[in-house]
Amino acid sequence: MTAIESPKPDINGDPPPRRSLIGTYPNHWLHSSSPPSFDLTRPSPPEYALPSPKDSISLSTTTTPIVISPSKTALVIIDMQNFFLSLYLGRPADGAGNNAKRRLLDTAIPAARKAGIQIIWLNWGLTDEDIENMPPSTRRAFGFEATLEGQGKNKSLPAIDAHGVNQAAADHFMQDKNGVLEEKELTENGKPKRIYKGLGSEVGPVSIEDGKVVDAGRLLMRDTWNAALPPALDAAYKEGQVLKEKPDVWIHKNRMSGLWGSSTPCTEFLEQAGISTLVFAGVNTDQCVAGSLQDAFTKGWDCILLKDACGTTSPDSARECIEFNSARTWGFVTVCNGLEKGVQAMLEAQ
Model pLDDT, residue 15: 65
Average pLDDT over residues 217-222: 96
pTM over 0.85: yes
Helix/strand/coil (H/E/C) assignment for every residue in 188-212: ECCEECCCCCCCCCECCEEECHHHC
pLDDT over 60 at 123, yes or no: yes
pLDDT digit string, tens, across residues 234-257: 999 999 999 999 999 999 999 999
Model pLDDT, residue 198: 85
| Residues with Cβ within 8 Å of residue 95, at least 6 apart in sequence | 311, 313
Least confident of 54-68, 97-111, 126-140, 174-188: 174-188
| Sign, CA torsion 192/194/197/200 | positive
Model pLDDT, residue 140: 79
pLDDT digit string, tens, across residues 161-199: 545 444 444 444 445 555 554 555 545 555 555 667 789
Model pLDDT, residue 14: 65
Model pLDDT, residue 277: 98
